[in-house]
Amino acid sequence: MRLWSLHPQYLDAKGLVALWREGLLAKAVLEGKTRGYTAHPQLIRFKKQERPLDAINVYLQAVLQEAQRRGYHFDSSKIDLKATHPKIPVTSGQLAYEWKHLLGKLKVRAPERFQKLKALDGLEPHPLFVKVKGPVEPWEVVK
């Protein structure tokens, strides 16, 4: 499971579809509807929120918006479109780590997208997050 801190605009089609599915799985975990993935590190920052379900719904709203912008048809009935949540801090180190990870994936499965994105600077975080200075997040499993 990878719940990207990066803005979904950077993902290729496979990545965006995977993010939607994995976000819905995360939502099911937070709702207590599944017994798997309950201790997954990617869920820590959502579980730490006062309203974890609102946080994951706002996260998924942005994924849905990106999908709609591209003309994809994700099922919006699967999330709470009225949920709101304050921004969650994410470190610059986490964003840099994820950027490198994403570029590695894109180099293999979407070389054209990789070529377009590899020189970008000043990356945008996912709309749920606000960038703060700092190292890779402690919950990240660094490889």
Please, which pLDDT band fits residue 143 given cuts at 50, 70 and 90? Answer: confident
Would you state the pLDDT for residue 129?
98
78 close to 24: Cβ distance less than 8 angstroms: yes
Residue 105 lies in a domain: yes
Q: pLDDT per residue over 4-17, tens digit each?
A: 999 999 999 999 99
Residue 53 lies in a domain: yes
Residue 143 lies in a domain: no
Would you state the pLDDT for residue 4?
97
3-state secondary structure of 71: coil
Please, which pLDDT band fits residue 99 given cuts at 50, 70 and 90? Answer: very high
For residue 84, give Cα distances in angstroms to 3, 51, 74. 18, 10, 20
Residue 77 lies in a domain: yes
Stated pTM of the model: 0.95
State the Cα–Cα distance between residues 44 and 34, nearest whole angstrom. Answer: 16
When pLDDT is averaged across residues 39-64 and rounded to a whole number, the result is: 96
H helix or E strand, kind and range, residue 130: strand 129-132
| Number of separate domains in the chain | 1
When pLDDT is averaged across residues 125-136 and rounded to a whole number, the result is: 98
Residue 1 lies in a domain: no
More confident site: 14 or 123: 14
When pLDDT is averaged across residues 12-25 and rounded to a whole number, the result is: 97
Residue 84 lies in a domain: yes
